[in-house]
Amino acid sequence: MSDLAVFDQYESEVRGYIRSFPVIFDRAHGSVLVAEDGREYLDFFSGAGVLNYGHNNPVFTRALIEYLESGGIIHGLDMATAAKREFIAAFQRLVLEPRGLDYKLQFTGPTGANAVEAALKVARQATGRSNVVAFTNGFHGLSLGALAATGNEKYRAAGGVTLGGVTRLPYDGYLGEGVDTLDLFERMLDDPGSGLDLPAAVIVEAIQGEGGINVARPEWLRRLREITEARGILLIVDDIQAGVGRSGAFFSFEESGIVPDLVTVSKSISASGLPMALLLLRPEVDVWEPGAHTGTFRGNNLAFVSARAALETYWADSAFTDAIADRSAQLRDALTAIAADFPAAQFTVRGRGLMYGLASPSRPELAGAVSQEAFKHGLVIETSGGRDEVLKFLPALTISADELNRGLGVVREALATLG
């Protein structure tokens, strides 16, 4: 094991992932992390969804080095820069236009949480209402506005204040198969005695990442869109984790065909791991006064350079989504076989694209134990869900079939060891 004394001694107790993966990582390439002692680890975590195109993808490294050497602007507040103009043009041409989407782009502070804050604020301003509906097991970030929409008890408790302005409703599947949880929402909206204040917005993940890889059915999302549209409630899709190809399409809501009013995007949008976040707004919802949601680090021009390189390299045709579909089928088949081969764990397999979970509600401690055991054998894999009961498969979208197989083999062996 690497020497972690300096972290133990000087870094805050808040540190998290270092405890699950206690080695000192030094370098990385593609789906491989290399520790300081030279040991290699296969990465099934991808920086919690930041590294959809793998670590140090040479396409972006080259673009970034060229930009740095050319003396390009690094920090630009929200001033006009050439790098930003080229990113906006590429996003328009390669993402929005082909999908028939009409959104303005807001460059928020560079975290996902800040894009969520902006979405909630502008939705409240645009409607003149304050209540927001969020769902069970939703995760939207940890700043106070976003935290109010986040479900997890541990994070909410750390906020230290009363979190208000959000009504929690059951996500798709929360009450078991055969129950459409939107019946409750619709009933409450139409009943003046329900106690539900007409919301400004509903915020939803099409696939819940931190909440346990829960997938909303396309018909559920379509009904949610209909219910909200009919009542002038804005629909925010939080695509911070499930977006940028993770679900198998650029946006996670594409499969359902819905058009949200607002979309938050972050994590893999910069492609290189550099911080960047975006809020997409339907033009009618863009009611901001100039400078009303500001922030020092909205102009990370290096991030714009790698973001644009990614769009031009991976999103100009369907080759990338075809490759994701192949790996996705491989992952689903392998997880289905694992679930069948370890019946005592009573696993359910859920997910889409390259975002899958192996959930064991009857043995919630199993996912964490597998993650630890797998790490000993060179695999980085995380857990998610309210009780951390879901083993979360989030490999790079660029992972090879061999690497995917190798990691799945480690999971299988870990399960066999743990019994």
Find, among 37, 27, 85, the residue nearest to 61 by Cα. 27
Task: List the interface residues with ligand PLP, window 359-378 (CB under 6 A).
Answer: none
Binding mask 48-67 for ligand PLP (x = CB under 6 A): x-------------------
| Separation CA 296–CA 273 (nearest Å) | 19
**Among residues 139 and 185, whose Cβ is nearest to ligand PLP?**
139
The CB-of-313 to ligand PLP minimum distance in angstroms stands at 24
For residue 388, state whether it binds ligand PLP (rule: CB under 6 A).
no
| Parallel/antiparallel/unpaired status of strands 262-265 and 278-281 | antiparallel
CB of 385 closer than 8 Å to CB of 360: no
Q: Quick one: 108 or 127, whose CB is closer to ligand PLP?
A: 108
Nearer to ligand PLP, 173 or 345 (CB): 173
Show contacts with ligand PLP in window 108-167 (CB under 6 A): 111-113, 116, 139-141
Instruction: Report the nearest approach of ligand PLP to the CB of residue 73 (Å).
Output: 23
* Nearer of residues 113 and 399 to ligand PLP, judged by Cβ: 113
Distance between CA atoms of residues 46 and 396, nearest Å? 6
CB of 264 to ligand PLP, least distance (A): 7
Return the residue of 43, 117, 238, 255 that touches ligand PLP, per CB under 6 A.
Answer: 238
Q: Which of 250, 251, 243 is nearest to 316 (CA)?
A: 250
* Closer residue to ligand PLP, CB minimum distance, 145 or 209: 209
Beta bridge partners of 279: 106, 264
Q: Least distance in Å: CB of 139 to ligand PLP?
A: 5
- Are 23 and 33 contacting, i.e. CB atoms less than 8 angstroms apart? no
Nearer to ligand PLP, 238 or 261 (CB): 238
Residue 318: DSSP 8-state: S
199 sits near ligand PLP (criterion: CB under 6 A) = no
Q: What is the side-by-side order of every strand in the sheet holding 348-352?
A: 348-352, 355-359, 390-393, 382-384
DSSP state of 209: T
Other Cβ atoms less than 10 A from the Cβ of 214: the count is 24
With residue 280 as reference, give the H or E element that holds it: strand 278-281
Q: How many residues bind ligand PLP (CB under 6 A)?
A: 15
255-260 contact pairs (CB < 8 A, 24+): 255/206, 255/218, 255/352, 256/206, 256/216, 256/218, 256/219, 256/221, 256/222, 256/225, 257/218, 257/222, 258/221, 258/222, 258/224, 258/225, 259/101, 259/225, 260/225, 260/235, 260/236
Closest approach of Cβ 242 to ligand PLP, in Å? 7
In the set 266, 272, 383, 398, which binds ligand PLP (CB under 6 A)?
A: 266
In the bound state with ligand PLP, the residue whose beta carbon lies nearer, of 382 and 403, is 382
Q: Report the residue from 172, 205, 261, 373 that binds ligand PLP according to the rule CB under 6 A.
A: 205
- Nearer to ligand PLP by Cβ, of 265 and 415: the residue is 265
> Least distance (Å) from ligand PLP to the CB of residue 141?
4
For residue 199, which of 260, 284, 120, 281 has the smallest C-alpha distance?
Answer: 120
Residue among 268 and 342 whose Cβ is closer to ligand PLP:
268
- Shortest Cβ contact with ligand PLP: which residue? 112
Residue selected from 210, 261, 373, 403 as contacting ligand PLP according to rule CB under 6 A: 210
DSSP secondary structure string for all residues of 108-147: --SSHHHHHHHHHHHHHHHHT---EEEETT----SSHHHH
- Residue (210 or 255) nearer to ligand PLP, CB: 210
Q: Is 394 in the site for ligand PLP (CB under 6 A)?
A: no
Site residues, ligand PLP (CB under 6 A): 48, 111-113, 116, 139-141, 205, 209-210, 238, 240-241, 266
